[in-house]
Amino acid sequence: MRTAFVNGRLHGTDGSTLVRTVLVHEQTIEAVLCPSTPIASGTRVVDLEGRRLLPGYVDVQVNGGGGVLFNDAPTIEGIAAIGAAHRRFGTTAFLPTLISDDLEVIRRGIAAVDAAIETGVPGVLGIHIEGPFLNTTRKGIHDPTRIRRLDPELVPLLSSLKRGRTLVTLAPECTTDEVIRALSDAGVLVCAGHTDATCSQIESALRQGMRGFTHLFNAMSPLASREPGVVGAALLDPCSWCGIIVDGRHVDPRVLRLALAAKSRERFMLVTDAMPCVGTDAQSFMLQGKRIHVRDGYCVDDAGTLAGTALDMGRAVRNTVAMLGLSAADAVRIASETPAEFLGLGATHGRIAAGCRADFVVADDALEILEVWQGGRRT
């Protein structure tokens, strides 16, 4: 059975809006056609009535959702629940993310993701291991008792996922260039985060294959007059990728606008850093023994330390238009195509093009989500 999505407005590569017919066969986009192209008899037709048809969002940093924290539920069921919570907000592909924890939790998380992909849990692209190989100086909400140095003997564990992508966030100064090179050579995507590294240390790590930066500006050494720090290195390097949290709280929007002016926006990607409260009405939750409070869309502990977000990707896209002044097309792109490219999955995810997965968001002109289609099926 083929499905034709007709009368949908797509974003062109130049940001223009185009009315197109998208032909889907099973879970894959077969063709993107002019509206005058005849549709074969027997094709199911879905009339979008002029609404926006956007690629499904790709989120590489999802700690939890639907009342589930991945650290507490490193299981197939936990991953499925997190994915279902975020799907309603347009996220059709994601990396369940572990924050700093014991090695046994990491082993269980990797095994769960591998099994989830094998059994077809919708949207799972791999795993993000954020710590425990961090700098306690920039720990943020991470438990300092779990933070440790990244030694060479842990490379086999961190590169053991058989299916999907593995992203590891680490502090380069808390390991060696040789370990970063070994991880990169093993296919692991390495990002700097929760780090107090110097600009020179970051530049060295980039030469060893480090690929990007986790939640730029947050929990990292800042740009200063005599030491560019992690932020300066990130903005100077044209090839690395930067995750950004656009909730108006983690980073002042004016600072993010400066970053976008300093480096190609094609190297920025929206992330939510979402916690279990997303998709629920919960006003608090537990994180490794700490009570975390949800306040005005962000999460803090009793001391006021930020603890991830209550942000979903649909809201992040709308915030990017409202706070950063990007066009709808550009905001959608850094929530879909850019993170897919970062993961090396640009040929199959994050775009509405022949050969890509039929993952769609149907939205109105305000980018409010009306429908989500995953693998050619409405969810």
Element (H, E) at 134: none
173 DSSP assignment: G
Q: Please report how the helices 177-185 and 199-207 are oriented relative to each other, as an axis angle in degrees rounded to 10.
A: 40
Q: Annotated catalytic sites, by residue?
A: 273
Q: Could you identify the residue written with the tokens 């110097």?
A: 198
Residue closest to 133 by CA, chosen among 217, 62, 190: 190
The whole-angstrom separation of Cα 132 and Cα 208 is 20
86 DSSP assignment: H
128 DSSP assignment: E
Per DSSP, the chain holds a count of helices (H) and strands (E) of 10, 22
Q: Could you identify the residue written with the tokens 């063709």?
A: 31
Query: Which runs of consecutive H residues, i.e. helices, occur in the chain?
Result: 76-87, 103-119, 155-158, 177-185, 199-207, 229-236, 253-262, 313-324, 328-333, 337-342
15 DSSP assignment: S
Whether 172 contacts 150, CB under 8 Å: no
Whether 206 contacts 237, CB under 8 Å: yes
Q: What is the DSSP string of 37-63?
A: S---TT-EEEE-TT-EEEEPEEEEEE-
Task: Report which residue type is found at 300.
Answer: V
